[in-house]
Amino acid sequence: MIAVGDSLPAVTLSEYNIVEGTCALGPNDITVAEEVANKTIVLFAVPGAFTPTCSSQHAPGFVQLTDEFKAAGVDEIWCLSVNDAYVMGAWGKELGAAGKIRMIADGDAVFTKATGLELDLFGKGLGLRSARYSMLVKNGVVKKLNLETSGGFKVSDAATILAQVRARVDA
């Protein structure tokens, strides 16, 4: 499993942005190594778009605190899920995430598997998903990882990682 001090996997993901009044194009490839270079990223992952906790608590917290993250030196906020880019784009539109959070699709779970942060939800109709977590990444290196256990939602929320960013726990 990925740990503090490890580099993010060199994989390609995708995103599809739906912007009102424009013709949406995509999905567009996201080469993780290129996209995180020389940036401070807060990445949070959810088991699934449009699912109850993800939609009512996890993602909205990051949307609401976007300005605070930016003021604390975060360049981008990423939401990652093992969903396709179209679903992530639609979910981002519903959340009002445009210009705030990049809705990143890990449709084949390549990032999730490479980090060892998969969640086995077979038998529940959901298959292989991402575990719920948040991480602080600087120049592609994990500086903080908040992994939920036992299906909880206690440590990966926006307020927790924002406090960590502000405290510069990675120093």
Q: Across the chain, how many H-helices and E-strands are there?
A: 7, 9
Task: Say how far apart CA 124 and CA 56 lie, in whole Å.
Answer: 21
Burial code (b: 16+ CB inside 10 Å, e: under 16) for 17-37 equals bbeeeeeeeebeebebeebbe
Does the annotation count 54 as an active-site position? yes
CB atoms within 10 A of CB 70: 13
Angle formed at CA 108 by CA 41 and CA 113, multiple of 5 degrees: 65
Task: Say how far apart CA 55 and CA 22 lie, in whole Å.
Answer: 25
Residue from 54, 80, 105, 131 carrying the catalytic annotation: 54
Active site residues per annotation: 54
